[in-house]
Amino acid sequence: MGSKRWTGPQATARRHGGLASWVAAITLAATAVTSAAHAHGPADPHSPACDAVGMWFDPATAETLAADQLMAKLAQRPVVLLGETHDNAEHHRWQLHILAALHGRNPDMVLGFESFPRRVQPILDQWVKGELGAEAFLEAVDWSTIWGFDPALYLPLFHFARQNRVPMIALNVERSLVSKVGEEGWAAIAAAERAGLSDPAPPGAAYRDSLARTYIFKQSHGEEGQADASVEEADISSVIGTEDFARFVEAQLTWDRAMAEALAAARQSRPAALVVGILGSGHIRYRHGVPHQLADLGIAQAAVLLPVERMEACNGLPADLADAVFVIDAAEQVATAPPKARLGVFIETGDGGVRVRRVMENSVAAATGIAADDIVVSAAGFPVARSGELVEIIQRQAPGTWLPLTIRRGGEAIELVAKFPTVFEPAE
């Protein structure tokens, strides 16, 4: 990949001050909070799932499944959803193996990715046709801005699609739309600004409950906390009827609906194709999120598949977790790169620069005097038009350095200097 350095997701989110905006944190936390809400006490070493590493397991029957029979059935489904934790290398290896198994049974396949907003669809088409190299492809889609996770995790999946000429589709919409829904509510968004999305189906009570847990934990610990089971039922009741929580739910539903509509459209355009979605587990666990929206769109038979670690399986899996799970050993997380500079802002590409959506408390940005809605137009003397450009400049800063910034606030240009600490804290 030339000289460009890529890092893991939590490191990316923390060091770059939330380059993908606050909405990315919803899904990063949702799976952990939902899992905590369904925890099952001590592991039972006599559970069949404890001996099922490397095997498929049916949560509903607590029995192992024959892989060949399962794959044959899945290949007949209209949509198959493969969950993941975005920075888990083992999850992506599992996805690649499933793609190969399904493709061998139904080569008429379409592969959709949560990681891509719809505006980059022409670039995905170019990649699949073999018209772009890997580095050119990542640059063209502006990977560091739209997703930010180590591309090495996803490239084997992209190469699989390219090698087999499997169409890749972008499932997502711009994060700015989801953020705006979270700030103003779905009803406040003009129809012309909804990226063509129809009204999302209302969430079920269980999904609303799990989102309430995520919301409460996020409010208490921030986007970077690790979820646990500490959320009380009384706390959930206290937020369910609030306007802020309602907007939070609508933001998540917008995300779910966007991906469901893209998957459904792919199936409609190719009725015989097997449409496979690669997306975060938080969007599909318990058939909440995307499966629920797909059912509202007329596709009730979408299959939900998840990788689970041995200890999670030993603890007992809820019967409605997924159609099937694959049991793996303890996850191999992507190695964290050495700590790098963090400005402490949530940003997005704006008009004529990089817009600051939010400034984190006690951050370098806060000490510098950067404010929400500022437009960063240059950094270190270099003009910045995209958030990825600002991210790369920040990454290059050494401990103790000063970074000159030019921002536009209203109609006025302001010169600021961001002063980085002499020691960078490691990403958690």
CATH 3.40.50.11550 domain extents, the chain: 23-177+247-328
pLDDT band at 160 (very low <50, low <70, confident <90, very high): very high
Residue bearing the bigger pLDDT, 100 or 385: 100
Tens-place pLDDT, residues 244-298: 999 999 999 999 999 999 999 999 999 999 999 999 999 999 999 999 999 999 9
Q: Which fold has domain 23-177+247-328?
A: Rossmann fold (3.40.50)
pLDDT in tens, 391-410: 889 988 999 999 999 999 98
Q: What is the pLDDT of residues 359-383, one digit of tens each?
A: 888 899 999 999 999 999 999 999 9
Q: Where in the chain are all domains bearing CATH 2.30.42.10? A: 338-419
Whether the predicted pLDDT of 336 surpasses 90: no
Q: What is the model's pTM?
A: 0.75
Which CATH number among 3.10.129.10, 2.30.42.10, 3.30.390.30, 3.50.50.60 corresponds to the domain 338-419? Answer: 2.30.42.10
pLDDT of amino acid 105? 96
SS (H, E, C) the chain: CCCCCCCCHHHHHHHCCCCCCCCHHHHHHHHHHHHHHCCCCCCCCCCHHHHCECCEEECCCCEEECHHHHHHHHCCCCEEEEEECCCEHHHHHHHHHHHHHHHHHCCCEEEEEEEEEHHHHHHHHHHHCCCCCHHHHHHHHCHHHHCCCCHHHHHHHHHHHHHCCCCEEEEECCHHHHHHHHHHCHHHCCHHHCCCCCCCCCCCHHHHHHHHHHHHHHHHHCCCCCCCCCCCHHHHHHHHCCHHHHHHHHHHHHHHHHHHHHHHHHHHHCCCCEEEEEEEHHHCHHHCCHHHHHHHCCCCCCEEEEEEEHHHHHCCCCCCCCCEEEEECCCCECCCCCCCCCCCEEEEEECCEEEEEEECCCCHHHHHCCCCCCEEEEECCEECCCHHHHHHHHHCCCCCCEEEEEEEECCEEEEEEEECCCCCCCCC
Average pLDDT value over all residues in the chain = 84
Quick one: pLDDT band at residue 44, thresholds 50, 70, 90?
Answer: low
pLDDT of residue 10: 37
